[in-house]
Amino acid sequence: MDSFIIQFIVNSIFPWLIFSGLVYVCSSYITKQDNTSPGIWWSALLASFLPFIPLSLGTINIPIPDLDYISSSLQSAQIVKQASITHVSLQKIDLISTALIVGYFGFTSLKLVKLLLVWQKLKSLTRSSELINELSTSKVKIGISSQNHSPFVIGITTAYVVLPDYFSSLNKDQQSILIQHELTHITNKDHITILLWRVLSIVLWINPFVKKMEWQFIRAMEHRCDRHTICRFSLNKHDYAKALLQSLKKSIQFSNNNPVAQFSSAVLCADDYKARLSNIASPSSKSKLALTFKFSLMILVIFSLHTFLKDPAMTGKLTWQHPLNSHTISSTFRSISKVRDYKPHQGIDYVAQRGSPVLSAADGVIVISGNKTLHSNYGNTVLIQHKSGYQTLYAHLESSDAKVGSWVKAGQVIGIIGDTGKTTGVHLHFEVIKDNQRVDPSLVIVTKS
C-alpha cells in the first residue's frame, strides 16, 4: 500500500472529509433558523478546501546543516549485485492505486453521462413546449409543456421558462406568480448555479458533504427567490403562498430532482416547505452581517483547530522509522571504505529496488527538495526539519514531489529511490543531524525517542 495515491488519500482526502463535515455541521447549525443566504453555502464549499492550502513556516528559524558533499556510499560489489537484481525485475504495479483511479474516473464519467441524459431529456421537453410569444423576449423564452411538472428554468446563453400543462387551469394571478418566480431565478442566475453545483457534487462525489451543501444551497436559494419575487413584484404574501401550494399539489406526477431552477424541488421535504411558507408570511429579520460574522468566526475556529492538529510544535518527542520498508543496509555510520577515501561515513546507505518509495523517518517540515541547494554530488535531495532540533537528509533520489514548507508525517512518501548525483548505483544515503551534528541513525531509530 506504499503509493502516492494511498498517501494522498490518508494525508489529504481523509482530513478534507473531516474538515468538510465540521464546516457543514456548523454551517447548518448557524443557518438552522435562517437559511436564506445562498452565499453562505458557496463560502462553506470554498472553506472546505482550506486543508489543501500549504502552511507557511512563518518565523521558524531552520538552520541548514553544514554538509560536505558525499561521494559514493556503497561498496562496488553490493551495487553491482543490487543493480543486477533491479534490471531483471519489473517494477511492481500498485493495483490498489490503479483500481482507485479507474474507479473514481469511471464512476464520475458514469454520473456525468447520466446528468447529460437528464439534461437532454429536459431540453427535449423544452423544445416540445408551446412557445408563448407575447411573453417571450430575445433573452428569455416562455413556453408550456404537455406534462405536469414544477415550473423550471433551463438554458445557459438563453433562458427558457418551461411551464407545466396545468398552468392554463390556474387563475391569472397564480399564473403571473409562477412566471415572476422563474424570472427572479433568471435574474439571480440560479439556473446556472444549480447546474454548476450539480457538476461539482458529481466530480467531488467522494465527499458526501458537497452534495449536502448543494441541497442546503437549493433551500437557501428558494427562500431568497421567494423573498425577492414578493418584493420585486409587490405581491400579496397569501396569494404567493397559495400559488406555491397549488404547484406542489399538481407537480407530483413528474420528478423534480433535476439540475434546473424550479418552483418546487425534490430536495425540499415537508419541513422545508413549512419553513418556506413561514418565511413567506414572516420574513426573517435577522441581520445578514451577524450571520456573516458567525460564519467567519466558525471557519476561523475550525481552521485554527485543524492547523493545530496538523502542524505539530517543533518541540517534543519523536517517533522514528526506517525511510524504506524493504531494504538492506550496505554501509553503516562511521564505516571506513576506500570508496570514500577512508573517510568516516556520515550516514547510512539503504539498498532497495529502483522505484521503491522513500518515506519520511519522522514528522516534520520540508526544508530542501531538489538538486539546486546542496552539492551536486547529492543529486536530488530532501532535507526535513523535525522536533527537538533533529533533521534528516535523503540523497540520490530519482525524484521528489515534496514541496518546501509542507508538513509530512512519519511514513509519508517524499520521493523515489534512485542514483542521481555522484554514485555507482541505486541506493538511498540517509543522514540524521542533531543541532548541526551528525548522529548515528541506527541509534535514533532503534530507541524510538
pLDDT block averages, 10 residues each, the chain of length 449? 62 86 91 85 91 58 51 37 36 65 94 94 93 87 91 91 92 93 94 95 96 93 92 93 86 63 69 81 73 82 73 63 89 75 82 92 89 85 88 93 84 92 88 88 70
Tell how strand 407-408 and strand 159-163 pair up.
Answer: unpaired
Of the candidates 127, 119, 123, 166, which has an alpha carbon nearest to the alpha carbon of residue 143? 127
C-alpha cell at 268: 425540499
What residue ranges do the domains of the chain occupy?
76-97+317-447, 101-211+225-268
Q: Tell me, what's the pLDDT at 69?
A: 46
H helices of 283-408, in order, are 288-310
Residue 318: the pLDDT is 78
Q: How far apart are CA 394 and CA 396, in angstroms?
A: 7
Give the pLDDT confidence score for residue 372 in this predicted structure.
83
Predicted local distance difference test score (pLDDT) of residue 98: 80
Residue 59's pLDDT is what? 41
Question: How far is Cα 39 from Cα 193, in angstroms, rounded to an integer?
Answer: 11
Q: Which residues face 357 on adjacent strands?
A: 416
For residue 263, what pLDDT is reported? Answer: 66
DSSP tag of 144? E
- Is residue 221 within 8 Å of 265, Cβ to Cβ? no
How far apart (Å, rounded) are the C-alpha atoms in residues 70 and 242? 82
Q: Distance (Å, rounded) from C-alpha 153 to C-alpha 142?
A: 9
pLDDT of residue 322: 92
Q: Does domain 76-97+317-447 have CATH number 1.10.357.10?
A: no
pTM for this one?
0.65
The Cα 378–Cα 420 span in angstroms is 7
pLDDT tens column, 113-137:
999 999 999 999 999 999 998 888 8
- By DSSP bridging, strand 140-144 and strand 159-163 are parallel
The C-alpha cell that represents 304 in the structure block: 485554527
The alpha carbons of the chain give a radius of gyration, in whole angstroms, of 31
Q: CA 438 → CA 67, 187, 333, 334, 431, distances in Å?
A: 10, 67, 10, 10, 7
Distance (Å, whole) CA 443 – CA 449? 10
> Residue 146 and residue 130: Cα distance in Å, rounded?
9
Closest of 180, 201, 293, 200 to residue 247, by C-alpha:
180
398 vs 91: CA distance, rounded Å: 14
153 beta partners: 161, 261
297: which residues sit within 8 A by CB, 6+ positions away?
none
The type of residue at 410 is A
Q: What is the DSSP letter of 427?
A: B
Residues 6 or more apart whose CB falls under 8 angstroms from that of 324 comprise: 350, 352, 356, 357, 358, 359, 417, 428
Whole-number pLDDT of residue 229: 94
